Amino acid sequence: MRLLPEQSWLQFNRRVLLQAERPDFPLLERMRFLAIWNRNLDEFFAARIAKPFLKARGSLEHRQLLAEARAQALLAQERYEALLTEASPRLKVLSPEALDELDWLYFRVFLAEVAAPKTDLIPWEAAGDVSHGALYFASEAHLVRLPQDLPRLLPVPGREGTYVRLGALMRARSDLFLPEPAPLYEFRVLRLLESERARADWDELVESLEARQEGTPTFLVAERGFPRAWLRRLREALGLGEEEALTLPPPLDLTLVERLVAEGPPEWRFAPLRPSRPKAFLKNPLHRLKEKDLLLYHPCEDYGAVERFARMALEAEEVWATLYRIGEENPLAEALIQAAQQGRRVHVLLEGRARFDELLNLSWYLRFLRAGVRVLPLPERKVHAKALLLLTREGGYAHLGTGNYNPQNGRQYTDFSLFTARKEVVEDLLAFFRAVAQGEAPRLRLLATGEAIRRRLLEGIRGEAHPEGRILLKFNHLTDPEVLEALAQAAEKGARVDLLVRSTLTLLHPRFRARSLVGRFLEHARVAAFRSGGRWRVYLTSADAMPRNFQNRFELLVPVLDEEARSKVLWALKRQLKDGRNAFLLTPEGMEPLWGGGKDGQGCR
């Protein structure tokens, strides 16, 4: 059975939403998944739906995607109500009618002095220009825009654990937002924020971002009870069909539950994770790597080891790094800045085009430049590799990872980190950096990038296409037609094909053993393993198995050469193949959750 990538990805988002039903998860953690699901769906209509929307809008496939999104939104609203009912002894979201006179003493002032001055009154004639994702209200004569920086959920002073929606308050006091009191109805519009422009320089990136908010509307969510004539008028102004609009009871954006998750009882959340720490490495990273490679499995093993390695840039003569999504505060990036300020030669390949992180990366770009870091020009290909290279008088030391150099994600996503001082790895990695810096295609011997990653995967798969063959792949996305066809042929020739695919798998073959894990941690590692002649060959990579990653990106694939490290990777993957708590089986007949028993493949012990 073949699926569109967008169909498969929506199935993944349904799996995310189903976490809100898990009986083994604390209440606030189940709520958190509502917010994750909502952010994912917004991103779907802002980016992932681009191809079917632009090339096949109105087709059966496009309508099926819309139907699935609508079904998930309805289910999410049901889960929101159910979780609030469960939380009601200690957390409540009141309606304005449930507030007393004392409560209104505060909220009248809040609405008048905080909310009203920040809202925009818009004529209906400008309905086609409403912003992506913002909360709007419609009245018969006007539209009202609520700024993104105002909290959607407000605590009720003096009532612990009690909140009220700002949108509901505004509707109760429409006289503060309209020329005269009138009924208000909520709505949100989602737009395609993908730019079709080629962006190969920082200046061009800025120009592209300036135009992004003008993206074409892709979906409209309106409050249930929204007057039909108004809804039709709004759809027509946005150029949307009936199937591209959905009505729901408020709230229309469930990310507001993040406040409940943050401020609710701590016993309703997961206990803090206490990762193990590689003490010898943390004491002296470079000395430890002279002895042998080190492989860490995050978040069970401390991501702080990566940041400790980066601080060794102060002892290096030259440093090279790829940076993709690094967040607002980043100890690793700060270590590179400090090294540059102290006279080290620091070269950073900062990928400015990481979707929706562009503004943050522009900020880091300026910081690096002003600190003396050499920021390499953006190449035509997007750089998604995860690599850090320290060159000293004694030799080179490398970190190669499957995840981003992001301090939050590094502690919440499952990823592998490989540290090594092997000469052949260091030489290849330096060749990669120098080639990209010079605008040339890297020529590598041990590592692989671009199309060579696909060739390495195909070689491994085809080598196992026999009854004794064993293939184990773990990716976020597995959509490449050549790789999938090779997997199908290997499976049909008797090989055992185990796939751990978090999000998108576009071929569901009856002989594949395919599963997706969705749990406490975001599954993020990318691994390929082949049992050749009884001995496993294992590769870590930054690349998902997608055509764009082989054709349009600089990725890296690295073999795990150390026997202990190789065994550790296989141990983690085989545990996930036996997971009975977080797994969904993916078959041509659909997906089946394996909850309530068996091993926890995300457990750290």
Residues 6 or more apart in contact with residue 493 via CB below 8 angstroms: 465, 466, 467, 469
pLDDT of residue 182: 96
- What count of other Cβ atoms lies within 10 Å of the Cβ of residue 370? 11
Instruction: Dig out the tokens for 86 from the structure.
Output: 């469960």
d(CA 398, CA 319): 10
pLDDT at 147: 87
Mean pLDDT by 10 residues, the chain (605 residues): 96 98 96 98 96 96 98 98 97 97 97 96 96 96 93 97 98 96 97 64 68 83 97 98 97 97 97 96 97 97 98 98 94 98 97 81 93 93 95 97 95 97 98 95 96 98 97 98 98 98 98 97 97 93 97 96 98 96 96 88 84
pLDDT of residue 59: 97
Of 150, 161, 196, 164, residue with least CA distance to 55: 196
* Cα dihedral 195, 196, 197, 198 sign: positive
Looking at residue 358, its pLDDT comes to 83
Provide the CA 538 distance to its chain's centre, in angstroms: 25
**Phi/psi of residue 395, each to 5°?**
150, -165
Among candidate residues 384, 399, 477, 509, the one labeled active-site is 384
Beta bridge partners of 538: 529
pLDDT at 62: 98
Q: Which two tokens stand for residue 481?
A: 């037609």
Q: What is the pLDDT of residues 464-516, one digit of tens each?
A: 999 999 999 999 999 999 999 999 999 999 999 999 999 999 999 999 999 99
Residue 197's pLDDT is what?
45
Q: Where are the beta strands (DSSP E) in 195-283?
A: 217-223, 245-248
CB contact at 8 A, 368 and 350: yes
Q: What number of other Cβ atoms are within 10 A of residue 360's Cβ?
A: 16
Output the pLDDT for position 532.
Answer: 83
3-state secondary structure of 456: helix
How many CB atoms within 10 Å of residue 205? Answer: 20
Check residue 198 and give its pLDDT: 46
Q: List, in sequence order, the alpha helices (H) in 19-59.
A: 27-43, 50-56
Task: With beta carbons less than 8 A apart as the criterion, state whether 309 and 293 touch.
Answer: no
384 has catalytic annotation = yes
197 by DSSP, 3-state: which?
coil
Contact between 312 and 394 (Cβ < 8 Å): no
Distance CA 265, CA 260 (A): 9
Q: What is the spatial distance between Cα 363 and Cα 376, in angstroms, rounded to a whole number?
A: 15
